[in-house]
Chains A and B, each alone.
Chain A
Amino acid sequence: GAVVSQHPSRVICKSGTSVKIECRSLDFQATTMFWYRQFPKQSLMLMATSNEGSKATYEQGVEKDKFLINHASLTLSTLTVTSAHPEDSSFYICSATGTSVYNEQFFGPGTRLTVL
């Protein structure tokens, strides 16, 4: 299957700092990328959907000024958590879809964010 990478895999930061997470599709062009958040023992929660070159579409309740998403190319999307707080500590996972007619979604390995 297609490969999606995420960096960093784990980050610990102080409250008030900003953290940038990168998501890359390594062997295909990602027409759409998704950002999810998952708290322990809970389901994935979609945060936003982004298409290359356009503004991300945020889900209800997700602050776009706090979670900045940039999808600058067909292989790279970034999520920046601005002014992070302890309640932002979570597992952040990106995914990407390409041009397959079946629209499979391939996930990155996730980034575990801990805000102290």
Chain B
Amino acid sequence: RKEVEQDPGPFNVPEGATVAFNCTYSNSASQSFFWYRQDCRKEPKLLMSVYSSGNEDGRFTAQLNRASQYISLLIRDSKLSDSATYLCVVYNYGQNFVFGPGTRLSVLP
């Protein structure tokens, strides 16, 4: 089993739709969690850190469930510019960052 797993995708949704991505991690000692987005042929950019209490930034909401070792990202009112690959990243203190394989999102006009 991979240490970080994500929905395989791709997700093709119309503009304005709500879309949710799921991510699970296997290391129960993992400490920090992030969502990054990566556009084609570009570097990953931090979208949100995921806090234990959950957090929201505009149209984006991230949730963490430590008991289930599960992280989610919800995007409301999708825009064309949201089209990208979304990477779930887990940090294990003293070790390294572990990237999920990514979930590709295409928002269609």
A residues neighboring B (CB under 8 Å)? 1, 34, 43-44, 46, 49, 91, 93, 102-110, 112
Contacts and interface: CB of A to CB of B under 8 A. Distances in A.
Contact of B91 (A103, A107, A112): A103
A110 B43 contact: yes
A104 B34 contact: yes
B43 A105 contact: no
A34 B97 contact: yes
Bin the interface of chain B by size: 20 to 34
Contact of A108 (B41, B43, B87, B89): B43
A102 B43 CA distance: 20
A108 B34 CA distance: 17
Main secondary structure of the interface of B (DSSP, over half): strand
Given A43-B100, A105-B97, A108-B43, 13 more contacts: A44-B87, A46-B99, A93-B44, A102-B32, A102-B49, A103-B31, A104-B46, A107-B43, A107-B44, A107-B45, A109-B42, A109-B43, A110-B42
B96 interface: yes
Contacts of B102: 43
B99 A106 contact: no
17 contacts: A1-B46, A43-B100, A43-B101, A44-B44, A46-B99, A49-B96, A91-B41, A93-B44, A102-B49, A103-B31, A103-B32, A103-B91, A103-B93, A107-B45, A108-B43, A109-B42, A112-B41
